[in-house]
Structure 1
Amino acid sequence: MRDEFKAGDRVQWHASQGVVRGTVKRKLTARTHIKGHEVAASEEHPEYLVVSDQTGAEAAHKAGALERI
């Protein structure tokens, strides 16, 4: 069973600088671009746009990379 997240959920994920915490902004279900990077999201393989608490930067992550806090 895959985790589902919704806008406003508080999450954390692992990055090269350690654990990062932030908020889910929205679920991505179609290809899109974020900061010049193509995100290959689809209905079958959604990703989540998250905003870092510390930097305010946006990034896309697969559900398996996120942990609810």
Structure 2
Amino acid sequence: MPKTFKSGDHVSWNSEAGRVRGHILRVHTKDVEYKGYVHHASPDDPQYEIKSDKTDHVALHKGRTLRLLRN
């Protein structure tokens, strides 16, 4: 069973630039088009829309790439 998160959770993930931290803005449970690509999502395997703490960049990631941080 994949990890599940909710809006507002503080999470981290790996990127090309290293470990990034951010807060979940939205949880997508249906396919969503974002930045010209279709990101596949379902209730069992959602996509998480996350805003970076440092750069305000917004990205979509699956739960398996995320780690929950303690605030």
For residues 23-52 of structure 1, what are the alpha-carbon distances to aligned partners after superposition, in whole Å with 9 as ceiling and x for unaligned?
A: 011111111112222111122321111111
Taking only aligned residues, the RMSD between alpha carbons, in angstroms, comes to 1.1
Q: Tell me what 2:30 maps to.
A: 30
Which stretch shows the higher mean deviation, 19-28 or 31-40?
31-40
Number of aligned pairs?
69
Instruction: Point out where structure 1 has 5 or more consecutive residues left out of the alignment.
Output: none
Q: Tell me what 1:64 maps to.
A: 64
Deviation (angstroms), 1:2: 2.4
Instruction: Point out where structure 2 has 5 or more consecutive residues left out of the alignment.
Output: none
Which stretch shows the higher mean deviation, 5-14 or 24-33?
24-33
For residues 41-66 of structure 1, what are the alpha-carbon distances to aligned partners after superposition, in whole Å with 9 as ceiling and x for unaligned?
A: 12232111111111111111111100
Q: Which amino acid aligns with 1:28?
A: H
Percent identity over the alignment is 38
